[in-house]
Amino acid sequence: MNPSLEPPRHRAFCTAEFAGRFFLAQLDVSQRMGNLYALLGMGLTDCALRSHVLRATHDAAYTVDLNELDSRKALLLEASLEGFATILRNFAEEVAAAHVRCLEQALGRVPSGAPSALPPALLPFLQPDFAGFGRAFNEALRERAEGRG
């Protein structure tokens, strides 16, 4: 066993932080995907209804409008695919940053200067040094137990 590493119970705090960051990133992705999906659905429904009404008239004057609606639908689909790709890419970057931060804390290194996946204001319950807090708490318990004995 490597003596420079702390016991596994002290590394559980960074795992909990990683789980929290992952959960918040997952909630963010699901909310953004739902919003984009709803906007895409409304846009496609609008295009479908307008083209249905224009096709029902059987008038040659509306062919330009039909072509414009088809190009609008293609543009809407292309933009939504780019939006989905961007959302998933950001999710992967946030999870990777949280994982790197967890590994750095678990190995006892100072977290890198890279921006964290989530701003610290969203995680007010986290302390910067969990291992030090755990050691101080255990030492206080030992001192209290020795004082009584």
Higher pLDDT pick, 14 / 100? 100
Average pLDDT over residues 12-19: 80
Q: Round to whole Å and give the CA distance between 7 and 11.
A: 7
Neighbours of 19 (CB within 10 A): 12
Q: Quick: pLDDT tens for 91-132.
A: 999 999 888 888 887 776 666 654 554 444 444 555 455 555
Q: Quick: pLDDT tens for 56-99.
A: 877 777 788 888 888 999 999 999 999 999 999 999 999 998 88
pLDDT-derived band at 52 (thresholds 50, 70, 90) equals confident
131, 6 contact by CB (below 8 A): yes
Q: Report pLDDT for 34.
A: 93
9 pLDDT above the threshold of 90: no
Chain-centroid distance, C-alpha 78:
23
Q: Report pLDDT for 50.
A: 87
Q: Report pLDDT for 119.
A: 46
Task: Tell me, letter by letter, the H, E, C secondary structure of the chain.
Answer: CCCCCCCHHHHHHHHHHHHHHHHHHHHHHHHHHHHHHHHHHHHHHHHHHHHHHHHHCCCHHHHHHHHHHHHHHHHHHHHHHHHHHHHHHHHHHHHHHHHHHHHHHHCCCCCCCCCCCCCHHHCCCCCCCHHHHHHHHHHHHHHHHHHHC
Q: Report pLDDT for 89.
A: 92
Q: Report pLDDT for 5.
A: 55
